A = this chain, B = another copy of it.
């Protein structure tokens, strides 16, 4: 399919939800994408299984604290500079790009790069949502190397990172993003077509578009966008359970930018004052407690949304007094495997709670 202006807007809506509060606000990505589409025409979205085994497929996205991305704008040359350098390292052209994470602004980042390089975007991603750290990508979970990786900044600085250890890569890239002003573009986990087909989370980009379209169409029809969202999530196959976790008003918020992340917690109170939800986040919302009881745990998705517009509110956009609904969704099945939970389950974020699937913690109609 071709990603035109409407699909781009839908993708921005859907990716914002799938960000689970992180991945950066998609708004700038949408504006950049619109400008690029206007200049170069629609971008082609290709299915994962159409890739040749020996294709060179490159995940891209931004690394840094979303709080910074709101104020420090990209130069627009970061992605191409990084991808061209990777082509130089491999001595061959890149065949396609893909989002390292479908969630948030990073779900849109490769469209911009694809338009500039005139290559297609693959309908997949490396996280099925957004995660704060690079080694949380499915490709690390499945034992692939993140390197060679190229990090580029708005100032023009370019850094090639090579290490056998994906955790060292994350540590180095994080330090670089901080040194370069808090945010940088990164291409990482360069894949063969075979590796992408075996390990990427397929269909997530078209799922994000469909989810966004469902919200948009419900708004146009005057229907409940939350019902439409949950229904679209379930229909996608990737997110088989979804439902409302809470409805209320933000009554407390702590947030700081530390070590290259937005870290904090937010409290939401029900309108009758009888119930309360507490969320903790590291870029993304990681755990939801309702009146003290855990009702959702990473890697399942927890997204705070404007209760009128159903716009997703990224963690750096949370504000005291916002009236919100919190929507939860099951993570894609690949993220719930035992080997994945070791990297993206509660323990990976320092929580002592054992992972339990969101559909077991909530009495939703879709069960």
A residues with a Cβ closer than 8 A to B are 155-165, 168-169, 171-172, 174-176, 178-180
Contacts and interface: CB of A to CB of B under 8 A. Distances in A.
Chief secondary structure at chain A's binding surface? mixed
A296 B158 CA distance: 39
22 contacts: A155-B163, A155-B168, A156-B165, A157-B162, A157-B163, A157-B169, A157-B172, A158-B161, A158-B162, A158-B163, A159-B159, A159-B161, A159-B162, A159-B172, A160-B160, A171-B180, A172-B179, A172-B180, A174-B179, A175-B175, A176-B176, A176-B179
Given A157-B162, A160-B160, A175-B176, 12 more contacts: A155-B165, A155-B168, A157-B165, A157-B169, A158-B161, A159-B160, A159-B172, A168-B180, A171-B180, A172-B176, A172-B179, A176-B176
A156 B163 contact: yes
A179 B163 CA distance: 13
A171 B162 contact: no
Nearest to A172: B179
A317 B171 CA distance: 29
Contacts of A176: 172, 175-176, 179
A176 B157 CA distance: 14
A151 B165 CA distance: 16
A181 to B, nearest CB: 10
A160 B178 CA distance: 17
Nearest to A152: B162
Contacts of A174: 179
Contacts of A163: 155-158
Contacts of A169: 157
